[in-house]
Structure formats: structure tokens, C-alpha cells
A = this chain, B = another copy of it.
Amino acid sequence: VKGSLGCWIDGVATDAVAANDRGLQYGDGLFETLLLRHGAARFLDAHLERLTLGLARLGIVFVDVEPLRRDIERAVALAPPLAILKIIVTRGSAPRRGYAPTDGAPARRIVTLWPTSPTDALKSGVALGIAHSRAATSTALAGMKTLNRLENVLAAAEIADGEFDVIMVDAAHRVISGSSSNLFIVNDGRLATPRVDTAGVAGVMRGIVLREAARLRIASELRDLTLEDVIRADEAFITNARIGVVPVTRVGEHSFRMTDLAPKLRAHIEALDA
């Protein structure tokens, strides 16, 4: 794959996927984006747990995680000090046309190693826009990092110069997330972030932040947030596996005065060994 440092499909180095792969035909699969740092896949267990739970939810047969672990080890061994590993698992090739899954068709692993650059410069914060295109409400797919990401594509197309991401909002005016990040707000030292049961992705870094906040005795809650809630918050930050925790300095026309907790959480999580 052009620009990548390697691509392996079911463990074989190749750039070509079967045209009848159900990932291409229907977006019938999931993916994970891992940060590789100095020879280790960051938060690997959390990524593999989310992946295997999602595959079970979709009924994609993935009996043995060991071949995928070997793919990851191979990529980690080849990776520069900082890299991204994108893992796609699809329901494999369709032996015939049609949406209905075929019993027992084996899943397919597509693992691509990408270069990336340090995100230290994001420490001082980023600006977010607000996407006009509305996030779907879907209890069937919410929370999972499925290959059905066209609405994230449409939202990301709205990112303006000077903005790092855009906030996606659903038809009921609930804030969902960024197009490629989860969003947290902070009020009186307490965290809040939207649930992901009607839309959005249960980001691995979102989970790490919630876990580490508990360890640091920082209160947090999952609740509906409006754009108004975001703008009135003491501070806000976004998270994903690549960037970690990044303070938000601006949302649309509104500037935040404080970026207090986010830098602390960022440093704390960066120092974790996992």
C-alpha cells in the first residue's frame, strides 16, 4: 500500500484484497487503530478486547486471536519508534451475492503499518469545528468501530483550515464525538463524555481515560451533552489512540480559558507502560 510501511492480508505480505470481500461490499467488519511506540503496541489488550467483543456482536467468526497477535508482533518488529498499526477484520469473501452472512465463512485480517509523527505539538491544544452533517442514531451499530464510516468521512470533509477535527451532533442535538476522536468536558474537576449506545465509537483511549480518571480519583460520568454544555464547560479535551489526550482551546467561535486537567491526564497516560 502506497505510503505504508507494510500490509499483510491473513499474514501474507500483499496490497491486494479480493474484490468480493464483504468489508468492501458492505462495510461488514471492524477495525482498530493502534499506536506503536518503541517496540510496543500501546493498550493492545484493550484494542483486542474491543475487537473480539465487536466481532462477537456482529456474529463474525474469529475463533483464534493468535494469528492476529503474530501479525502485530511482525509489524511491531518492523516499525520505526513511532508508528500506526491499522487492523481490519472483515467477514471475509462472500461466496455469493447478498447481504445474508454465510455460516462458517472465515474472517479476513488486513493489517497495515503506517508512519506517523509525534503529537507533542498538540499538547498546547487544538481548535474544533462543528459538523453540519448529522450523526446517525443506530442502536445496532453504536459503540463499535465498524467499517461503516461514511458519516465520519462526510464530517471530516468539513474540517476547516486551523481546525483539528469537527464535533459531530445527532438529530436530537446530542454531541456524539469528533469525527476521529472522543470528546470530554470538565466542570469543577469532574469529567463527562457522551454514552456511545446510540451513536459514536467506544474509543480505546476514551476507555483508558475513564479508567485512569477513576484511579486518580477524578469523578467522571457518561451523559448526554449538548453543544451548549460543551461551550459552557470549564475545559474540554479530545482523545484517540494516536493523539492520546489533547486539550481543546476553541470550539467554533468559543475559546476555552482553561486547559488544566487535560494536560495532567495526557502526561499521566503517556507515562503508562501498557
Residues of chain A whose beta carbon lies under 8 Å from any beta carbon of chain B: 1-4, 7, 9, 14-28, 31, 33, 58-59, 84, 86, 88, 90-91, 93, 95-101, 110, 112, 114, 133-141, 146-157, 159, 171, 179-180
Contact = CB atoms under 8 A, between A and B. Distances in A.
A93 B2 CA distance: 9
A26 to B, nearest CB: 4
Nearest to A111: B19
A29 B162 CA distance: 28
Nearest to A30: B150
Contact of A2 (B3, B4, B59, B95): B95
Contacts of A91: 153
Nearest to A22: B153
B16 A19 contact: yes
A209 B112 CA distance: 45
B110 A156 contact: no
A103 to B, nearest CB: 10
A21 to B, nearest CB: 7
A90 B18 CA distance: 15
Contacts of A140: 133-136, 150-151, 154
A16 B15 CA distance: 9
Contacts of A84: 97
A141 B150 contact: yes
A77 B219 CA distance: 67
A27 B247 CA distance: 30
Nearest to A8: B19
A99 B179 contact: yes
Given A100-B157, A100-B159, A58 B26 contact: no
A144 to B, nearest CB: 9
Contacts of A112: 19-20
A24 B26 contact: no
B146 A141 contact: no
Contacts of A147: 24-27, 150
Closest 4 CB pairs of A and B: A136-B138, A27-B27, A16-B16, A99-B156
Nearest to A31: B25
Nearest to A198: B171
Contacts of A25: 31, 88, 147, 149
Nearest to A148: B148
Contacts of A14: 19
